């Protein structure tokens, strides 16, 4: 099957560059690709994903439109799952960090591939349960879980990753209260610890006192272990997370050596029988040509080697090893299609091309100054003859999706497709300027299916209330 080149210069994303290389999809790591694995240019010179013409998809479903490639998502799940089986001698479990994109279809697919779900709210718990993910495979995170959310998680049978003292004591109290009920399910908890590893700079903060709102600080660990050992809580292990969109492997090699110290301390001094170690996620994806993330398998291999070496050296048996990829599972599997409107040229400065979406469907550029890549999907072979800035339609000067990108000459009605929008796009979408949220579809084998309906103008008013005294 024809697919996108693993590396493409900005001036070479054309029909020819997509047709030149034939590879097995299974050999490609989705997080290293700019486009979904099934992307090709069809004989009509249009971008095609999952066997579906993107222009025809927009004609059918409207725009902006999130287009999720099922093959890419399943491949990423399988590569994570199979890499742990290959490189780790103990038990393992991959959890999808659903904050990247929590919806029934995505959760159902990752669940069907044998993955669990990492959730951070009652809403994400409900979504995972409705997608028929087993409660035993749902792990509940968050730094300020409400009493209602904790109660819901306890009733559902989820594992709760405890983040701080307030939560620990609240959970202990709730557990004692609920233990009197005939339907009581003994809760499983993990403790989130701050590991003292700073990514991106390769600087390691020896004291571990990283400025973060998440997790217990290293100087609290012994007090936490002592409290848990005397409580009614069933603590099964510890958790750490060192960052996001990470391209370096060394920090993930080293995390096992940090965590094993606490694993051993808990057992030897406090008689806590930990069996699980969760090392979080953080593997990056390729948003633009210059990005060069490790493959899924290389990341897993590195993590497994680091944990194995650390636990063998410490004389401990291998724990059940968990990880929580989000972006690297779903980010590169989805694109967003927009319809181009007008243009504006500021002489000697810039040409703006406007689209029918923007910061409400992708807040990452205005929030994080994130960079993206795009093509004109209905004329893939057209020469890249102009440098333009893609502007959203919102009433904000900063609503810029992509600054200074090379594109062909464009016309109103052309379809612009932005790559790598599966993570933190729909999940962070808003109704700013009272815009309805876009639809999302899934494509596979030439078929497309709606997975999220497009909101209507009436939907925007659904939760509004107008007091009687304000009515005329």
Secondary structure, 3-state, 127-144: HHHHCCCCHHHEEECCCC
**CA pair distance 267, 265, nearest whole angstrom:** 5
Predicted local confidence at residue 184, as pLDDT: 67
Q: Is 17 helix (H, G, I), strand (E, B) or coil?
A: helix
What is the C-alpha to C-alpha distance for residues 366 and 370, in angstroms, rounded to an integer? Answer: 8
User: Phi/psi of residue 64, each to 5°?
Assistant: -60, 155
Are 428 and 363 within 8 A, CB to CB? yes
88 alpha-carbon distance from chain centroid? 24
Q: What are the C-alpha distances in Å from 397 to residues 12, 147, 390, 391, 393?
A: 30, 41, 12, 9, 10
Of 158, 323, 395, 465, catalytic: 395
**Hey, is 406 helix, strand or coil?**
strand
For tokens 């700079």, what's the residue? 201
pLDDT at 438: 98
Q: Which residue(s) pair with 53 in the sheet? A: 48
CATH T-level topology, domain 141-325: TIM Barrel (3.20.20)
Residue 11 pLDDT more than 60?
Answer: no
- Alpha-carbon distance 54 to 417, whole Å? 9
Please say whether the beta carbons of 158 and 171 come within 8 A: no
pLDDT at 65: 98
pTM (whole model) above 0.85: yes
pLDDT at residue 274 tops 60: yes
215: left (phi over 0), alpha (psi -120 to 50) or beta: left
Cβ–Cβ under 8 Å, residues 422 and 99: no
CA–CA dist 194, 255 (Å, integer): 11
- d(C-alpha 51, C-alpha 448), whole Å: 9
The residues of the chain that CATH labels 2.40.37.10 are 10-68+346-459
User: Is 199 an active-site residue?
Assistant: no
Q: Is 427's pLDDT higher than 50?
A: yes
201-210, 239-248, 406-415: segment of lowest average pLDDT: 201-210
| Residue among 44, 34, 46, 29 at smallest CA distance from 9 | 34
Please state the rounded mean pLDDT for residues 375-386.
96
The third-level CATH classification (topology) of the domain covering 10-68+346-459 is: Lyase, Ornithine Decarboxylase; Chain A, domain 1 (2.40.37)
CATH 3.20.20.10 segments of the chain: 141-325
């Amino acid at each position: 099957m024809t697919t996108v080149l693993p590396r493409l210069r900005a001036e070479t994303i054309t029909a020819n560059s997509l047709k030149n290389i034939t590879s097995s999809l299974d050999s490609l790591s989705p997080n290293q690709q700019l486009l979904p694995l099934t992307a090709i240019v069809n004989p009509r010179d249009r971008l095609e994903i999952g066997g579906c013409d993107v222009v025809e998809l927009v004609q059918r479903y409207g725009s902006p439109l999130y287009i999720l490639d099922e093959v890419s998502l399943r491949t990423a799940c399988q590569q994570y799952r199979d890499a742990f089986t290959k490189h780790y001698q103990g038990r393992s479990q991959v959890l999808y960090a659903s904050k990247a994109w929590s919806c029934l279809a995505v959760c159902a697919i990752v669940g069907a591939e044998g993955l669990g779900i990492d959730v951070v709210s009652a809403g994400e718990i409900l979504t995972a349960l409705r997608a028929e993910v087993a409660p035993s495979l749902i792990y509940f995170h968050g730094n300020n879980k409400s009493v209602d959310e904790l109660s819901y998680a306890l009733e559902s049978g989820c594992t709760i990753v405890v983040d701080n003292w307030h939560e620990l004591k609240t959970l202990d109290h709730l557990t004692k209260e609920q233990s009197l009920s005939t339907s009581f399910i003994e809760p499983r908890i993990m403790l989130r610890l701050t590991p003292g590893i700073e990514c991106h700079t390769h600087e390691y903060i020896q004291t571990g006192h990283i400025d973060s709102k998440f997790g217990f600080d290293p100087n609290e660990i012994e007090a936490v272990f002592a409290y848990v050992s005397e409580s009614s809580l069933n603590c099964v292990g510890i958790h750490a997370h060192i960052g996001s969109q990470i391209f370096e492997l060394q920090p993930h090699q080293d995390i096992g050596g940090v965590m094993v110290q606490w694993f051993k301390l808990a057992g030897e001094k406090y008689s806590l029988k930990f069996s699980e170690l969760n090392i979080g996620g953080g593997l990056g994806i390729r948003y633009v040509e210059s990005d060069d993330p490790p493959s899924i398998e290389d990341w897993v291999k590195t993590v497994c080697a680091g944990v194995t070496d650390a636990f063998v050296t410490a004389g401990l048996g291998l724990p059940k090893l968990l990880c929580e990829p989000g972006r690297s599972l779903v980010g590169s599997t989805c694109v967003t299609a927009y319809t181009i409107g007008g243009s504006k040229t500021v002489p000697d400065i810039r040409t703006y091309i406007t689209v029918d979406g923007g910061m409400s469907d992708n807040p990452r550029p205005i929030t994080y100054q994130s960079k993206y890549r795009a093509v004109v999907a209905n004329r893939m072979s057209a020469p890249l003859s102009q440098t333009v800035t893609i502007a959203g339609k919102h009433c904000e000067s900063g609503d810029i999706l992509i600054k200074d990108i090379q594109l062909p000459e464009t016309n109103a009605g052309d379809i612009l497709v932005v790559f790598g929008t599966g993570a933190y796009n729909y999940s962070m979408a808003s109704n700013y300027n009272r815009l309805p949220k876009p639809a999302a579809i899934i494509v596979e084998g030439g078929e497309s299916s709606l997975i999220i309906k497009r909101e209507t103008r009436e939907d925007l008013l659904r939760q509004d209330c107008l007091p009687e005294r304000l009515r005329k």
